[in-house]
Amino acid sequence: QLQLVESGGGLVQPGGSLRLSCAASGDSLDYYAIGWFLQAPGKEREGVSCISSSGGSTKHADSVKGRFTISRDNAKNTVYLQMNSLKPEDTAVYYCKAELTSWVRTTSYWGQGTQVTVSS
């Protein structure tokens, strides 16, 4: 069964950068679309960035466009979220989700999350 482990979070000052990693095991990510989500304390989980299985298409929430970049390295079975120009409002737990779609359903797998704190 596919398992996802996020890493790379931590404490960073406003304007700084972090690179989050989502490492997969148990299955190849080649056929999965990948999304990064964030959940701030007391709030609903929301989408940040996503990338197609081929890596040819990416989308970002308006709040992070121009600052975050999602990429994947299928050879390493890993997806990355490069986070630049970080703001305090980016503070949240970031989760990686892999989705396998078909005509009848979408199967999703979640990682356990990694904490990102942007503060001076």
Q: Is 53 left (phi over 0), alpha (psi -120 to 50) or beta?
A: alpha
The mean per-residue pLDDT over the stretch 14-41 comes to 96
Give the CA count within 13 Å in the CB-facing half-sphere of 2: 23
Q: What is the mean pLDDT of residues 17-22?
A: 98
Which positions ≥6 away from 84 have C-beta within 8 Å?
A: 17, 67, 68, 69
Q: What's the average model confidence in pLDDT over 91-112?
A: 95
- Residues 95-117 have a mean pLDDT of 95
pLDDT of residue 55: 87
One-letter amino acid identity for 27? Answer: D
Band of pLDDT at residue 79, cut at 50, 70 and 90: very high
- Share above pLDDT 90 across residues of the chain, in percent, rounded to a whole number: 93
Close Cβ partners of 76 (under 8 Å, ≥ 6 residues apart): 23
Q: What tens digit of pLDDT does each residue of 36-72 get?
A: 999 999 999 999 999 999 888 999 999 999 999 999 9
Which residue has 């503070």 as its token pair? 91
**DSSP strand pairing (114-118 vs 92-101):** antiparallel
